[in-house]
Every structure is written in C-alpha cells, then in structure tokens.
C-alpha cells in the first residue's frame, strides 16, 4: 500500500523521550557488597583501546564513546578477512551465514557481538540500514533482512568484494572445467574471460559472451556440482531453455550494451553484470525449495468460472485449492510435507505476517501460501506460523516455479495482446486539423503478426519466446515494442503530432498484455460492470501491475493480481485470493446499510461512501472507539459502531476488533495540508482498517471524531472538485486539463488545486484540493488512493 503523507509523521517523534519518569531506574547494591561483583571484573590496570589515535583522528569517531564491540584494529582486521572469504551458495558471503544453528534462517541480531569471545560473531556493521547491515568501507558485504522478523533474507557480495565464487564441473569427456566469478572482473570459463555483449537472437553465435546460453549453463553446472553435489549434466544441456536460468536485460533493445542479470532460480544465486561484462555483485538467497513445488500443474479456472488448484507431480496426494471447502494449515502439511522432512522444511521457509496480524504468508521458493485466521483469535506475532486450523485463502506463484499454468498459453496470450495493442495504437491517434486523415495514419490499422513458433498450450510463467525462421531465439513482446518504435521514428512530423507521445514509452505498449493476462487468469470472470479492474505502472516504470476484483457466480469475492517486470519481459508473479477477513465482514455490514439507505447495488465499499454525512466510520464520524493499545505488536483494540443512519436516542451496537494501529498518546497523527507547501500536525490515533478487499486508515482525533481518512486503491468515482470525478487508474493530470477546458480555469482556481511532487521534483505524488480538503495520491501519474480531512 502506498504510504500516506500523514501517518509517516509518527517516525519523526520516535526519538523524543518522556519528560516524566522514575527518579531512579536501578536498585543500588548494599554498602557491604563487593563492588567487583557488579560486573564481574577484577581490579587491575584500566583497559584502553590499542594503537595510536590522535584527537583529530575522526574518521570513525571514538569507539570509547560509541559502545562498540570491537576496537578499530579488530574491525579492520575482520573486514579484511570478510571481503576475501569465498562466496559459498546457500551458506555464506564474507563468512556471514544464511542459516542459523537450528536449521532455519539466521536472525541478524545473532550475528553481531565480540568475535574475541565468540569467533562466530561479527563486529558491529560499518553502516546500519533499516533493512540491512553493511560491512566494509564500500559496503562490500551486505546482509539484507526482514524488518519485522529480523531474519536474513539475502547476502550480497558487492562491487569491490575480493573473494571468489568458483568451482568446476565435469564435461562428457570427463575433464573438469573451471568457472570463476569475482566482482569487478569478467566471468571466466575454462580460463577465458567472457567480454562480449549479446542479445537474445545473437547469443548462440557469440561464444565469448557472458550471455551465451552455453556459458550460462557452464556456471549452472559448476554451481550444481561444486556446491550441491549434483550429478553431471550432458554438454548440450541448456538451463535457460529449461527455465532454470533466468536472463534479464534492462532495456527493450537487448542488442545494446546494458546492465544484465542472471538468476539461477533453484540454486539461490543471482548475478548482475555491468555494461561491458564485468560482474557488479552476487546475491545469495536461502534455498528453500520443497519437494512438492519442484514439479506441478496450476489451473485457475474451469468452463464454469474461477477455481484455483495446484497439483504436485512430485508428492503423491499433494493438491490444494481455494474452493468452497477451505484447506487448513494442518491439512496442507499432511498432504504436501512428508513427516520425515516436515520440520526441516518448515524451519527453512519464511513466515510473513500481514500488517493486520490476521494472516501469514508461508513463503516457499516458487509459491507463497496465505493462511487466514478468524477474528476471534489473538493477533499473530512477527514470524509466527499459522495455527493448524487457519485456512488457505491466497496463493501466489512466481516465475521460476516448475508448474505449467493451464491459462498461460503463450500463443493465445500473444494473439489477444496483438488485438488489444492494435486497438490502443488506433485510439492513440487524435485529430489535430492535420491534412492526413486519421484513418490514413500508419498506426490506425497497425499489423502485429503472431509467430507460429509460440507454444500453443499450457506453459510455466516465462517470456513469450520462440525460434524464428533463421533458428534464432526471439522474445515476442520486446520485438513488437522495438518495431513500433522503429516505425514511429519513420513517421512524418505531421503524423507524429497526431499520435499520443506515450507510444514512445514501453509501459504504455506493455499494458495491453497485462490486461490480456488478467482476462485469461480470471477464466472468464470479472467482465461485468460491478468488477474492479486497475492497471498501472510503478513510478520508475519498471513494473506494470494489474488488479482485478470480482465476485463469482455464488457472490464470493475474488482478487487477482499480476506483476509484469519490464527487465524480464514477462509476468513474474500472480496472486489469487478468495474470501475476506473480519475487517471486510464489518465493512460489508455497513456497506449493506448504505446501499439500503441510498440505493445502488455496487458490491464494494467506495471512497465516496467514506465521505457520506452520518457514516460512523467515515469522515467526521464517531464510530471508531479506541479501547487499548499493544505497543509491542502495534495493534489497537477498537469498538466499531454498526448504525446508519445514526439513532441519537439509542446507543449504537458495536463490534470489537483488534486492528493494526498506533495510539494518539505516543504522539501519532497526520499532516494536514493548509497551503501549497504548508502542513500542520494533527494528533490522532492511527487506526488501520485494512481488509483483504478494502484497505483504509482512519485518524481518530482527541474529540473521538475521525479527522482524516486514507483509502488505498479506491473503488468507484471520487470527486476532487465539483464536476471532476476520478477513478483508480485515471491519468490525473489529463483529467485536470480536460476539466479546466470544460469548466474553465476559474473552476480549477476556485477548487484550489495544488500539485505535490517528490523531493527531487520530477515525480507527481499527489494532487490536492485545499478548498474541499481532498487529495488523490498517484503512481506514475495515475490515481491510486484518496485522502480526505476535516
């Protein structure tokens, strides 16, 4: 969820201590006690830091004032040792381990201490980030960790790391072939540095390229045999074709030198190369592949509608879905994790507890399973496993999972994409009074040929790749984008003025494919007017995201999400959710009351509903009562009124829930915009009503009234100004321009519209109406969330 300007203020007061406190925070020892017993020391010569260190030597500050674990000399010696240590997949970088002593992921807090007392510990990091520890003057060793669980999720050997990732593999002749990788150096295979860049179509002819599939497979074979004790593979094996090695180019034109990325999916090794071919860094991630996910099939729907199912081809009886009969955590374990390896497998996966602490994602290698608990149970703690009776409500699967997806048919997807893209190009032509008729524009009826070589059948998530008539591998979507750009450059000046300039942007041309994928994965559902569809890009335009919310024939809510990564030219993740949470159930109660009072049958809670007068959980409502706070879990116990319209003579019935939130007493609140660059802080409880279907944050002031609301990925139209209604996904700037032309610039001025940009000034973050105290937050210029305040 996109961050609000309001609730981030809580962090600004984090360092402010309490003025009132105990006069003494310790119990002194009796006078007769032995002073040395206080800390276990014995009398003797006082300790001082070794080495000469003048007063003006402030490169690292004074250790004596920083409470460090190590002296400067100890730190320097250890960093030298760390940066020259070998890189060992699924084990360590710089000696920093991926796994803890219990067989599970290691906690970052267990890494730091006094190496002189325990050689397995490390001196304090050179640099500390909120989600990473870095050792070395140039952060040569990085340990990335989850901010909530504190578990290490990846290790990085960054540019300047001197240790090597090296080994050998056996070819069919029985010879051992050496492979060496080191940052700031070329990949070396069999004594030869690989220095040539190669696009997909030319990699096979460039034997001296680090992007040649044979050379990538050489690295794969070395990793398997050296570090995972796997048997040798035949010399004609191609790990890229087998989708076990993932090659990513940064730009659509893969022939141009650029950053490139190679991911060895099941081996937990990721390599990033600089333009020119030198290795920039190595990432190691824990290898937690469970047997049940090493081969399987996925079906998202049938002829009668959506019906997600996963069937393992490796573990007999392992099948699960999101049907009417929920699969419990206990049932999943019994079906898919054999008892003799169950605890080991469960120790190696990561448990991501949701912000609302009502669900947890169990992250395997290519699958993430979301388990939901009912509202009567206590909230989940960070890193907690599901209870046995918590039930499966969501499944995410990723590129790299060895599972054919029934609905991912490359040929059919390419055909629908071609139709949608041609229609988008046609709609991008505008009449500007030019002499060229719109119908005569080269992009009016733009031909896109779908190659016969694309697979016409179920496939795992991957690029839409094929082999052309010359035997060269090609990637379909990227080739279409490049051809459109080439044809755009051939347009006359007049023809270029007639077409939307967004055609020169890659995301604009990719979105029709994301729409085609959403339709395919929904198995025919989600086409009615009451469904919610949203396609947008991230601000950096490296991801195209698709969202589809709909109800099945029985009225059960479903949500479908897809991520298309432009670097990979492919959909990299799909998530399917069924049902909703206790928060959603409460919101549904109020939604039904509103529909009965004002009419309509739209099945979702709309942002405009939150602005209705008399709404107990809307702006200026008094229907959220904060009862208590748990500062350890960042939760609030709240009572929610269920009454619309409110009856002043009868106490409103309430429902009690534990939700994510922060209490007003801890100086939390939001920022209220009063002028273009003027904001004021308003103290408030931060109450997050984040359901699986609807997500909003209410700021409850000292008076008990809701002072402000933030609704994420809002549904339905929302009026920023009179006559200017926006929906999620709308181009906000274009809508304002059209509004100004239709209603006049005076209407825009009267609405007191303010544009809020990112710190560097090049990204539009938010458009606000100061007069009506409303705002639309944006991603890549499109409406995503709404804010309203008193």
> In the predicted model, is pLDDT for residue 259 greater than 70?
yes
> In the predicted model, is pLDDT for residue 36 greater than 70?
no
Show the DSSP H helices in 186-291 as ranges: 213-227
Q: Whole-angstrom Cα distance, residue 270 to residue 142?
A: 14
280 and 311 inside one domain: no
pLDDT digits (tens, 9 = 90+) for 221-230: 999 999 999 9
Q: Are 623 and 643 within 8 A, CB to CB? A: yes
Last residue of a domain, one of 252, 284, 316: 284
190 and 254 inside one domain: yes
Residue % of the chain over a pLDDT of 90? 69
Residue 646's pLDDT is: 60
784 and 698 inside one domain: no
Structural domain includes residue 366 = yes
Other C-beta atoms closer than 10 Å to the C-beta of 93 total 29
pLDDT digits (tens, 9 = 90+) for 618-667: 999 999 999 999 999 999 999 998 776 566 677 767 889 999 999 999 99
> In the predicted model, is pLDDT for residue 33 greater than 50?
no
749 and 666 inside one domain: no
250 and 304 inside one domain: no
What is the 8-class DSSP label of residue 542? S
Max Cα-Cα span within the chain = 104
Residue 251's pLDDT is: 83
Segment among 347-351, 449-453, 699-703 with least mean pLDDT? 347-351
Last residue of a domain, one of 284, 308, 336: 284
Confidence of residue 49 (pLDDT cuts 50, 70, 90): very low
Structural domain includes residue 552 = no
Q: For residues 205-228, b (16+ Cβ closer than 10 Å) or e, as one string?
A: ebeebbbbbbbbbbbbbbbbbbbe
- List all residues 6 or more positions away from 351 whose beta carbon is below 8 Å from its beta carbon: 149, 360, 361, 362, 363, 383, 384, 385
Q: Are 421 and 480 within 8 A, CB to CB? A: yes
CA–chain centroid gap for 410, Å, is 25
Structural domain includes residue 638 = yes
What is the 8-class DSSP label of residue 485? H
Confidence of residue 420 (pLDDT cuts 50, 70, 90): very high
Confidence of residue 67 (pLDDT cuts 50, 70, 90): low
Structural domain includes residue 512 = yes
Confidence of residue 284 (pLDDT cuts 50, 70, 90): very high
- SS3 state at 244: coil
- Which residues partner with 462 through β-bridges? none
Confidence of residue 116 (pLDDT cuts 50, 70, 90): confident
Confidence of residue 44 (pLDDT cuts 50, 70, 90): very low
pTM, 2 dp? 0.84
Q: How many residues are listed for the chain in this entry?
A: 790
What's the mean pLDDT in 472-488? Answer: 93
Structural domain includes residue 253 = yes
CA nearest neighbour of 694 among 719, 718, 712: 712
Residue 253's pLDDT is: 84
Q: Whole-angstrom Cα distance, residue 123 to residue 140?
A: 15
In 162-275, beta strands by DSSP E = 165-170, 176-181, 188-189, 192-193, 245-249, 260-264, 269-273
706 and 722 inside one domain: no
What's the mean pLDDT in 466-475? Answer: 86
What's the mean pLDDT in 385-390? Answer: 96
Other C-beta atoms closer than 10 Å to the C-beta of 469 total 8
pLDDT digits (tens, 9 = 90+) for 137-150: 999 999 999 888 88
Report for 224-238, 250-264, 535-549, 588-602: range of highest mean pLDDT: 224-238
Last residue of a domain, one of 249, 284, 319: 284
Q: What is the DSSP string of 74-88?
A: HHHHHHHHHHTSPPB
pLDDT digits (tens, 9 = 90+) for 591-620: 888 787 777 788 899 999 988 888 889 999
Owning domain of residue 482: 410-544
332 and 275 inside one domain: no
Q: Whole-angstrom Cα distance, residue 749 to residue 462?
A: 49
Residue 260's pLDDT is: 96
486 and 609 inside one domain: no
Please give the tally of structural domains in the chain.
5
- List all residues 6 or more positions away from 52 whose beta carbon is below 8 Å from its beta carbon: none
> In the predicted model, is pLDDT for residue 57 greater than 50?
no
Q: Whole-angstrom Cα distance, residue 221 to residue 234?
A: 10
What is the 8-class DSSP label of residue 287? -
> In the predicted model, is pLDDT for residue 481 greater than 70?
yes
CA nearest neighbour of 454 among 493, 491, 409, 417: 409
Q: Whole-angstrom Cα distance, residue 373 to residue 378?
A: 9
Pairing of strands 96-97, 127-128: unpaired
Q: Whole-angstrom Cα distance, residue 709 to residue 700?
A: 9
469 and 521 inside one domain: yes
196 and 227 inside one domain: yes
Residue 526's pLDDT is: 85
Q: For residues 337-365, b (16+ Cβ closer than 10 Å) or e, as one string?
A: bbeeeeeebbebbbbbbbbbbbbbbbbbb
Confidence of residue 502 (pLDDT cuts 50, 70, 90): very high
- SS3 state at 329: helix
Residue 102's pLDDT is: 80
Other C-beta atoms closer than 10 Å to the C-beta of 588 total 18
Q: Whole-angstrom Cα distance, residue 358 to residue 377?
A: 8
Q: Whole-angstrom Cα distance, residue 243 to residue 264?
A: 9
Residue 252's pLDDT is: 78
Residue 636's φ and ψ, nearest 5 degrees, are: -125, 140
Q: Whole-angstrom Cα distance, residue 212 to residue 189?
A: 12
Structural domain includes residue 349 = yes
Helix (H) or strand (E) holding 417: helix 410-427
pLDDT digits (tens, 9 = 90+) for 556-575: 999 999 999 998 889 999 99
What is the average pLDDT value for the chain, to the nearest integer? 88
Structural domain includes residue 555 = no
Structural domain includes residue 34 = no
191 and 212 inside one domain: yes
620 and 540 inside one domain: no
């Amino acid at each position: 969820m996109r961050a609000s300007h309001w609730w981030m203020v809580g962090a600004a007061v984090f360092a402010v201590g309490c003025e009132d406190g105990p006069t003494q925070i310790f119990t002194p020892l009796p006078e007769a006690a032995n002073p040395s017993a206080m800390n276990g020391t014995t009398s003797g010569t006082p300790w001082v830091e070794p080495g000469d260190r003048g007063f003006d030597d402030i490169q690292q500050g004074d250790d004596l004032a920083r409470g460090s674990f190590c002296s400067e000399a100890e730190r320097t010696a250890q960093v030298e040792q760390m940066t020259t240590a070998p890189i060992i997949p699924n084990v360590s970088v710089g000696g920093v381990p991926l796994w803890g002593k219990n067989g599970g992921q290691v906690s970052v807090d267990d890494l730091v201490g006094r190496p002189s007392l325990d050689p397995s510990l490390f001196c304090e990091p050179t640099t500390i980030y909120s989600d990473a520890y870095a050792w070395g003057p140039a952060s040569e060793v990085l340990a990335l960790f989850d901010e909530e669980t504190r578990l290490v999720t990846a290790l990085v050997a960054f540019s300047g790391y001197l240790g090597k990732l090296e080994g050998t593999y056996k070819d069919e002749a029985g010879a051992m072939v050496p492979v060496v990788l080191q940052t700031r150096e070329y990949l070396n295979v069999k004594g030869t540095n690989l220095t040539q860049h190669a696009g997909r179509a030319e990699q096979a002819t460039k034997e001296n390229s680090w992007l040649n599939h044979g050379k990538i497979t050489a690295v794969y074979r070395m990793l398997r045999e050296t570090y995972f004790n796997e048997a040798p593979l035949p010399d004609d094996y191609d790990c890229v074709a087998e989708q076990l090695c993932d090659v990513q180019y940064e730009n659509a034109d893969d022939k141009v030198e650029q950053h490139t990325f190679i991911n060895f999916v099941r081996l937990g090794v990721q390599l990033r190369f600089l333009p020119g071919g030198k290795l920039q860094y190595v990432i190691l991630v824990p290898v937690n592949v469970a047997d049940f996910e090493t081969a399987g099939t996925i079906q998202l729907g049938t002829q009668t509608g959506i019906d997600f199912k996963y069937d393992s081809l490796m573990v007999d009886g392992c099948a699960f879905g999101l049907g009417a009969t929920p699969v419990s955590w206990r049932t999943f374990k019994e079906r898919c994790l054999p008892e003799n390896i169950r605890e080991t497998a469960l120790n190696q996966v990561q448990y991501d507890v949701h912000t609302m602490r009502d669900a947890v994602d169990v992250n395997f290698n290519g699958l993430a399973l979301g388990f939901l608990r009912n509202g009567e149970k206590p909230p989940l703690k960070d890193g907690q496993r599901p209870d046995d009776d918590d039930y499966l409500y969501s499944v995410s699967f990723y590129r790299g999972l060895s599972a054919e997806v029934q609905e991912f048919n490359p040929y059919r997807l390419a055909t629908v994409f071609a139709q949608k893209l041609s229609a988008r190009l046609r709609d991008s032509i505008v009449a500007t009074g030019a002499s060229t008729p719109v119908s005569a524009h080269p992009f009016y009826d733009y031909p896109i040929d779908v190659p016969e070589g694309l697979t016409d059948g179920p496939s795992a998530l991957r690029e839409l790749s094929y082999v052309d008539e010359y035997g060269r591998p090609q990637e379909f979507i990227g080739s279409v984008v490049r051809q459109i750009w080439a044809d755009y450059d051939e347009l006359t000046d007049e023809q270029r003025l007639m077409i939307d300039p967004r055609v020169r942007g890659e995301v604009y041309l990719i979105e029709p494919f994301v729409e085609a994928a959403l339709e395919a994965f929904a198995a025919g559902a989600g086409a009615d007017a009451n469904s919610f569809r949203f396609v947008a890009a991230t601000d950096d335009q490296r991801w195209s995201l698709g969202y589809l919310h709909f109800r099945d024939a029985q009225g059960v809510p479903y949500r479908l999400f897809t991520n298309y990564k432009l670097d990979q030219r492919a959909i990299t993740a799909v998530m399917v959710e069924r049902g909703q949470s206790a928060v959603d159930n409460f919101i549904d109660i109020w939604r039904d009351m509103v529909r009965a009072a004002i009419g309509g049958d739209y099945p979702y809670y709309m942002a405009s509903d939150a602005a209705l007068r008399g709404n107990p959980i809307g702006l200026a409502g008094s229907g959220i009562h904060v009862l208590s706070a748990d500062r350890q879990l960042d939760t609030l116990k709240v009572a929610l009124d269920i009454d619309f319209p409110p009856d002043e003579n009868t106490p409103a019935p309430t429902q009690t829930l534990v939700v994510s939130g922060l209490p007003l007493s801890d100086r939390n609140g939001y920022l209220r915009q009063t002028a273009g660059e003027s904001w004021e802080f308003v103290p408030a409880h931060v109450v997050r009503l984040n359901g699986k279907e609807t997500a909003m944050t209410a700021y409850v002031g000292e008076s008990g009234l809701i002072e402000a609301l933030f609704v994420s990925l809002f549904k339905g139209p929302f009026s920023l100004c009179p006559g200017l209604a926006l929906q999620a996904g709308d181009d906000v700037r274009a809508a304002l321009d059209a509004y100004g032309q239709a209603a006049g610039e005076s209407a825009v001025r009267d609405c007191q519209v303010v544009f809020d940009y990112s710190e560097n000034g090049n990204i539009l973050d938010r458009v606000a109406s100061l007069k009506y105290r409303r705002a639309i937050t944006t991603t890549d210029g499109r409406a995503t969330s709404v804010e309203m305040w008193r």
